[in-house]
Structure 1
Amino acid sequence: MVGVLANLGAAGGAAVITVTFIHPIDTVKTRMQVSGTKGARNYSELGLIGTISTVGREEGIGAFWKGIPAAWMREASYTSFRLGLYKPLKVAFGADKPDSPFIMKFLAGGASGGLGSIVGNPFDILKTKMMAAEGAGVGLVQTTTEIYKNSGILGFYRGIDANILRAIVNNGTKMACYDTSKNAIKKYVGLKEGVALQGAASFVAGFFMTCTVAPFDICRTRLMNQPADKPKIYKTIFDTFFKIAYNEGPLALWKGFIPMWARIAPTTTLQLLLFEQFTKLLGIKAV
């Protein structure tokens, strides 16, 4: 139990530090993902550079850190679980050996991610709404009050189905690819345990994560960003998948892919590097 708690603490600390630096990329990605929805500017037409330029010029540099308090709370809850529970669940799934099947590592990562998404969903809602808000934006307390007033407690669990599925795919891919590529790099490239090995394995995991999780991510963003006081455009994750693909084309499911990759690759690398270093200081093995 002490080891599990130490893992959770190390994971949460690594995640909060990481998101502070990566949050501006997440804001740009979110703006591009909500493009095409009713009342939202079409940032996809502006492209990555155009979106960054427009947001910076019209809303100021601080706009790139909109929603950062909610992001800190989200990482302290969600990521604590999805990283901190991976090793215990990997042992429970019998996937703690270097030659364990990839699918078992995926299932262990998916299970820890799914549990984490349930805990972190309210903060995910808050973060998404705050990042997507154009102009002056609104604060954490005002956003929380508005959601509760219009939708009650259930408003904080809007998009929970999409979030759980996204988290299962996200964390399953991330942890299984990280674990597998780390062992492969050790074996075939000859890198020893250390920052170089962790960084290389994290970069590989980040690429595959972006490919698999992008459609789930945009559906989650659309579901969570719907106005609380107006009729819903999207009902479930499957409804969202269909409507985006039908109305905007199948490739729209990967809208915001470049900023998402630009966010995931360094996030995964820095997060896992910090996590492994923190657990090393605590005298426990992380992954």
Structure 2
Amino acid sequence: MSIIGMKFQPPMAHPTTSIYATSPSASSPPSKGSPSALQSMGLACGTALIAVNFTHPIETVKTRMQVGEFSFGIMMKEEGFAALWKGIQAAWLREASYTTVKLGGYGPIRDALGAKDKNAPFYLKFFAGSLSGSIGSVFGNPFDVMKTMMMSNSGKQTPLPALMGQMYKDQGIGGFYRGITANIARACVLNGTKMACYDLIKGKVSESLGYSRKDVRCQFISATGAGLFMTCTVSPFDNMRTRLMNQPTDAKIYNGMVDCAKKTLQKEGPTAFYKGFFPIWGRFAPQATLQLVIMDNFLNMMGFDTI
């Protein structure tokens, strides 16, 4: 049979073909389901150690603004560019403990509560994030104290082992848990807001824009939104934590979070609780985005369900 004169029709392109594959089968192997708690925390540890290197300078500026008068120009002139990474050693240890638990523990706790479904109640997702954040803050508090003291020190940097030795000599083990109440409260509100909002926004973005939950566009939009909500809810707790942790090793200025809040309010007024708001936002937005997008892509690469 002759084929001359037959009309050739090119094959139709698959409607989902894109550099952003929205079909899970087009971008990743079949899902293995949710990771175990240890697998989740292992991936969270790697995520945290990568992200902190990029966000630490913003954290340093934010901390300096919270503890007193601050000039970026003077800081650069007197301490140099490397000052932005003061305390990075303590930050690595803090991320390897605190963030490993708060980020890695969210999924397993959420699933145990039966809140994995996109339509699950917001309060259950918030509770899962609050619980993992609170537990993580207990593990990370000693390194949080060291990190805060190292970042706020505008003089010659004391090596981490020496600073820890001085703290133990002056205040014993209790010195490493100064500000623990404020830190738990902060972690509870922060991680509850962060994880619940991220989880919820992903569902809304997926429904509204048609992006898969594994699509980096969905992850980026959701993480950015979560970062904004985090800043609004956490700023007062972040300020109290910084002040409590930055007390000298041989002195005690505040008797806990309530005393710190009372003295701050009397001396500086209510706006003091939002000191460094924009640097906090400037840190939370990229940090939340980096952590959540990296974590989701680690989960995706390993074949697990994303957050």
The TM-score range, normalised by the shorter chain, is over 0.9
Q: 2:79 aligns with which of 36, 56, 59?
A: 59
Q: 2:223 aligns with which of 188, 202, 211?
A: 202
1-structure distance, mates of 2:268, 2:210: 46
Q: Is the 8 A contact 1:3 1:284 kept in 2?
A: no
Q: Is the 8 A contact 1:10 1:279 kept in 2?
A: yes
2-structure distance, mates of 1:250, 1:242: 10
TM-score (norm 2): 0.87
- Could you give the per-residue CA deviations for residues 34-77 of structure 1, whole angstroms, max 9, x where no partner exists? 11xxxxxx12xxxxxxx322211110111110000100010011
Aligned pairs for 1:184-223 (under 5 A) are 184-192=204-212, 193-223=214-244
Give the CA deviation at 1:285.
2.1
Whichever residue aligns with residue 255 of structure 1, its letter is: K
In structure 2, list runs of 5 or more residues that go unmatched: 1-33
Q: 1:241 aligns with which of 251, 258, 261?
A: 261
Aligned to 1:38: none
Q: Does 1:134 align with 2:117?
A: no
Aligned to 1:31: 64
1-structure distance, mates of 2:262, 2:120: 36
Whichever residue aligns with residue 228 of structure 1, its letter is: T
TM-score (norm 1): 0.93
SS at match of 1:115: helix
1-structure distance, mates of 2:263, 2:211: 46
Q: Does 1:74 align with 2:107?
A: no
1-structure distance, mates of 2:36, 2:114: 18
Aligned to 2:188: 168
Q: Is the 8 A contact 1:7 1:286 kept in 2?
A: no
2-structure distance, mates of 1:81, 1:271: 13
2-structure distance, mates of 1:276, 1:212: 24
Q: Does 1:113 align with 2:133?
A: yes
1-structure distance, mates of 2:253, 2:211: 50
Give the CA deviation at 1:241.
1.4
Whichever residue aligns with residue 220 of structure 2, its letter is: G
Deviates more, 1:221-230 or 1:276-285: 276-285
Whichever residue aligns with residue 67 of structure 2, its letter is: V
- Could you give the per-residue CA deviations for residues 164-192 of structure 1, whole angstroms, max 9, x where no partner exists? 11000000000000000110111122223
Deviates more, 1:90-99 or 1:185-194: 185-194
Give the CA deviation at 1:105.
0.6
Q: Is the 8 A contact 1:106 1:173 kept in 2?
A: yes
Q: 2:54 aligns with which of 13, 21, 37?
A: 21
- Could you give the per-residue CA deviations for residues 238-269 of structure 1, whole angstroms, max 9, x where no partner exists? 11112112210101100001111001000000
2-structure distance, mates of 1:20, 1:145: 25
Aligned to 1:104: 124
Q: Does 1:9 align with 2:42?
A: yes
Q: Is the 8 A contact 2:227 2:285 kept in 1?
A: yes
Q: Is the 8 A contact 1:6 1:282 kept in 2?
A: no
- Could you give the per-residue CA deviations for residues 163-220 of structure 1, whole angstroms, max 9, x where no partner exists? 1110000000000000001101111222233111100000000000000000000100
2-structure distance, mates of 1:142, 1:164: 26
Larger radius of gyration: 2
Aligned length: 273
Q: Is the 8 A contact 2:49 2:92 kept in 1?
A: yes
- The structure that is helix-richer by fraction is 1
Percent of matched pairs sharing the same residue = 50
- CA RMSD for the aligned pairs? 1.2
Deviates more, 1:20-29 or 1:92-101: 92-101
Aligned to 2:302: 282
